[in-house]
Structure 1
Amino acid sequence: MHTVMILMALSSALLIRWLWQPQPTSYPQRWQKSLFYFLFPPLLLLMTAMAVLGMGIQGQMFGMETGWISYGLSALFLLIASVTLLWQFYQQARSRLKLQSYPVTTLSGTTAKLLPISLPYSAQVGGWHSQLVISEGLLTALDDDHLQAVIAHEKAHYYYRDTFWFLWLGWVYRSTAWLPNSRLLWEELLSLRELRADWKATETVDPLLLAESLITVAQFSLSNPKVDHAALSCTATQSRLEERIEALINQEDVFTPPLFPLGSSLLWSLTPLATMPWHQC
């Protein structure tokens, strides 16, 4: 019976992911749909594995015998997820430790770590209390006004604690990257994150200054940014870059919708745990 549970959860996860299609909807709807399709399938698989592991290898469920195969598959899935999470924590700790060797600079009252590279680069690095990192190349490439626009963007990432939340979202992505549309959904969430930071930054700086800074930095963009980094030029492909510039010029509102509707939808992923009382040893 546990094998049937796993097959049902896997089929549902695959089907839900296949159903996702990018649509030109409002930003709040894009946030809601992207997060649901991104999170629900992995959570369903995770809860199913936890339920099977909790029920053990002995006994019956709805008159059907349980066995080692389903138990072993569940344990393997949870082991991979745990190792992936530990690896991400290790990578983050190593980045934070490496940053301690770089000098500190202050720009208009904002403290940042200064990277000794010529590439224009800025990012928030870390977890809940992330740290601003800028490169010497950024100081050379931008004047004071454009630099302030970049700093305002990075402050927006800190305000939303993007590095913390996307550390966990990155764990979900890496643990279940084999699911359909994983890469597209991940890039959509990264894009929405940057659009939101742009929008927040325009509360204190001129949108055109930020757009010009984005174009300058994106020309030297680092490829494949780490999941715990929130950077101005993150995922700045041509289409994404054009979308961000248009949003800045048109001063579009890119706010995050209320999370309660999303949370109530994700609660259905806990269904496998509700089957545990029907397991008989």
Structure 2
Amino acid sequence: MRAVSVVVVALAICVGARAETGLDGLRGEYPILAYDGDSMASGYVQIVSDGNVMGVFVTGLALASQPAHSMNVLTPSAGTEIAEDTDKVTQRYRDGRGSSQIEYVRRPGFLEIRTEVCVDGDGCERSELVVGQTASPGMEIDYESFFLANSGVYTIRSAGGAPPKPENDAAMVDGNFGYLMLPYCEPGGACNPGYIFVDKASTHFFRREVSGGSQFDMVLHDNGKTKYYSWTERDNGEVLFRDFQYRLNEVRVCMEHVLVRGENRAVRDSNP
């Protein structure tokens, strides 16, 4: 099925300009909150709409334990039909080999994206994505509820897929001052102290039940930018913290910390 989208991209190169459509208002890059029902798939979706091509790119993030499956569904701007109603934009395209359809469904603070790519005589492939704009599909909880449940000292079992150095194996969630301290040591030895300051006025928390545990989605609004983090409590007692904005050597990755709640010598010794 993916061959269809590749051929469509090639056909789109020489297409001219077209009128503005309802898809233009959705252009941008969004973190994946769920991919075919899997909330642990880490990646982002780019919605494109220009004079040549329109559709979606799905990109998995390196260092994630479960990177999203990368794919694209793209059609030439010329010949693509766009229909719009109050809550949904639908993109349809057909040529002599098959057809594709993408539905972009607007929800409060997030989008549901449903793709279908069909090859005549060879069936269809479908996918469903939930991507974040300013919120999450979970139930919103207040700032205090998150910190009351999660403040404390944690031992870091892994950061970026590798065990941390002994002097950097402690994390802290501080409810009094509103920050998360998550050290990460890059290959080669440089260590990032990893303070994430969580301002009450500009942060929203959403809780949802996911496979194998519970997840808090943290949405921070910082200088006109929206940043997403997730805090997943696994049934085995571990916590998986994901930072979807992290850049390693200028490359965007999903920085993951696997945490276990408990006293840690490095943090204890650093306190007077």
TM-score exceeds 0.5:
no
Higher helix share: 1
TM value normalised by structure 2: 0.24
**Larger relative contact order (CA 8 Å, sep ≥ 6):** 1
Higher strand share: 2
